[in-house]
Chains A and B, each alone.
Chain A
Amino acid sequence: MYAIAIHGGAGAVPRATLSPERERAYRAGLEAALDGGSAVLERGGSSLDAVTAAVRILEDDPLFNAGRGAALTREGAAELDAAIMDGRQQRAGAVASVRHVKNPVELARRVMEKSRHVLLVGPGAEEFALEEGFALMPNLYFRTPERISQLEHEQRGERVSDLVPPGQGTVGAVARDRDGNLAAATSTGGMTNKRPGRVGDSPIIGAGTYAKNGVCAVSATGHGEYFIRAVAAHHVCAAVEYRGLTLELAMRELLNDILRGLGGDGGLIGVDRDGRIVMEFSTEGMYRGARDSSGRSEIAIY
């Protein structure tokens, strides 16, 4: 039994503002990521490889707020955060505020596998990338005309865009492979118009990303500051592990009782020990997809 779920951000995605062409493009992007991830699982690959593959595809797709097409800081630069966690030994790697790494999720994985650290930030993270043989990209590579105009609108106090709303287009993947190993990965450009140096929940193990074999793997998207304060991803897994809640109930409790109480919203995807996929959100919509070896296959937005 294998299973994989992905998300491409949660937020207000009113049907009216999303043109049919646009919706098709988003669906195609999600489909491609799901294909990439499930192909790994189908041929017996690890959940870690599957989530890396799925997130890499979403990072390369300019529609999503991660890698190319990431939301821009108030100074107009892309600053990227990513994390990956291996549920097997609860190893983890993360990077924050990198500006020149094409696929931050791959650098996060390298931090996990080749450094003695979990989280590297800023120029130090890029120094490590160079030592590891990564080719750095100019920051220009990440900036798309749409994100530039989104930033301009935001700075003028307007909110006009049919892209995923600012700060809510984070991408992520969770998977369970045939051996029962769980993994989670998340990647983001953060909030549009954010202050340089701001780090959200994505690279914070326990907040935006968490995986523990025998319990669950979770990736979150939404208003990051609230997810950090609530230790969201670990909260969900702790509710499953310690209280015996289903993943579904654990996520609903977090979104509806805890985060809503704090004033935050967003969404979560997760997979439990048995490969059951759950995708929950407290926003109008969440770009998401799920596929498993029993034949489930879906892409949804609303």
Chain B
Amino acid sequence: MSRPNLLAITAAALLATASAHAAPPPPAPQPTIALAIHGGAGVIERARMTPEREASYRAGLAAALDAGYAVLERGGSSLDAVAAAVRTMEDDPQFNAGRGAVLNHDGICELDAAIMDGTGPRAGAVAGVHHVKNPIDLARLVMDRSPHVLLAGAGAEEFALAQGVVLVPESYFLTPGRVRELEEEKRAAAAGQEPTAPLPLRPPASAAAPKGIGTVGALALDRAGHLAAATSTGGLTNKLYGRVGDTPIIGAGTYADESCAVSGTGQGEFYIRQVVAYDICAMMHYQHLSLERAVDTMIHQKLKRTGGEGGVIALDGDGNYAMDFNSPGMHRGVRDSRGHREIAMYRDTN
């Protein structure tokens, strides 16, 4: 493999190996099941990480991976699997989603989430909610129980109440680390990086590392061959009140169809403008690129050209996956019925 962080395996290669060694006709093959997750991309480097923190991130990723995979293993749907994995990370305060989400300019958490069922396709999303413990579950309710796809702000919470969702106070989401992060970001902004300044097309070489690492997402392929994608986030630290990033935008941060599913994490504005998640699938469908090539083209060429930083995870209908990023690191994990189970954070594969 040309790039050590690309973890794509082709089904063809595996089948070829299997048939070369196995003489007796194999029993009816179990369809592949697979789950991939991410916990955000950004400045994730060994040098900046304590062993305790690293272990804690790995444990958080492992818990989400196993929660989602367990659903698939007992024959559950890809939709239930991605919801379970994302819910686990929303509840884990070290990720930027649900509890522990980053704070906006006014010091509160504004949460966005989306879920998409590759068959249908159906989708549900919420943006700018302040009081919903698991935004991914509300996104699912929007998909399952409303005629709409995206509900925002107070209207989304009104819908939550009508669906019997118990709201939690804003304080539930706050963690000391995120409060500190906002203060630092505001100091930096006061020192010259105005939060309302237009985003440069190319960030200056000295630009500070983007904050708000930790958007979470999951993709799954179930026994029935159905794909699903889910993403959840608190967005950017110090974002303007009302700002919505790519996460709840179907096609930008979240997308799934019958043969391709993508969840993104990074500088959301770039992801929206380039319709990143859908464009990866379009390159696969229309230019006949492999999943790996399509992801590589998006992350290392298209996104990089505009100065957008971040990563994606992607999964196709055969269970091939790719997890790639143009930032220093990305929290990620994958597990499938071919025996892979790995969790990684840095550019090298662990």
Interface residues of A (CB under 8 A from B): 85, 89-92, 96-97, 113-125, 127-128, 131, 194-200, 204-207, 210, 224-225, 228-231, 234-235, 238-239, 242-243, 262
Contacts and interface: CB of A to CB of B under 8 A. Distances in A.
Contact of A89 (B121, B152, B196, B201): B201
Q: Is the interface of B mostly helix, strand, loop or mixed?
A: mixed
Task: Name the residue among A85, A96, A195, A234 with the largest chain B CB count within 10 angstroms.
Answer: A195
B31 interface: no
Given A204-B250, A206-B252, A234 B279 contact: yes
A215 to B, nearest CB: 12
A96 B242 CA distance: 9
Interface stretch (B21-29, B41-49, B178-186, B266-274): B266-274
A117 B306 contact: no
B278 A122 contact: no
Nearest to A86: B273
A262 B149 CA distance: 14
B153 A195 contact: no
A199 B151 contact: yes
Interface residues of B, number: 51
B242 A121 contact: yes
Interface string B256-282: 000000000000110011110011001
Interface string B135-150: 0000000000011111
A197 B244 contact: no
B122 A196 contact: no
A197 B159 CA distance: 9
A205 B286 contact: no
Given A119-B244, A242-B287, A124 B128 contact: yes
A239 B282 CA distance: 8
Contact of B123 (A97, A113, A228): A228
A115 B197 CA distance: 6
Interface in B150-198: 150-156, 158-159, 195-198
Contacts of B286: 238-239, 242-243
29 contacts: A90-B273, A91-B201, A91-B273, A116-B197, A116-B199, A117-B240, A117-B269, A119-B243, A120-B240, A120-B243, A122-B152, A123-B241, A123-B242, A194-B148, A196-B154, A196-B158, A197-B156, A197-B159, A198-B151, A199-B148, A204-B250, A229-B122, A229-B123, A230-B121, A234-B278, A238-B278, A238-B286, A262-B120, A262-B121
Given A198-B155, A228-B250, A229-B149, A124 B306 contact: no
Task: Name the residue among A116, A225, A238 with the largest chain B CB count within 10 angstroms.
Answer: A116
B306 A90 contact: yes
Given A122-B154, A196-B158, A199-B127, A235 B282 contact: yes
B239 interface: yes
A194 B159 CA distance: 12
A90 B287 CA distance: 21
A197 B241 contact: no
B243 A117 contact: yes
B57 interface: no
Contacts of B197: 116
B151 A197 contact: yes
B272 A118 contact: yes
Task: Name the residue among B158, B159, B272 with the largest chain A CB count within 10 angstroms.
Answer: B272
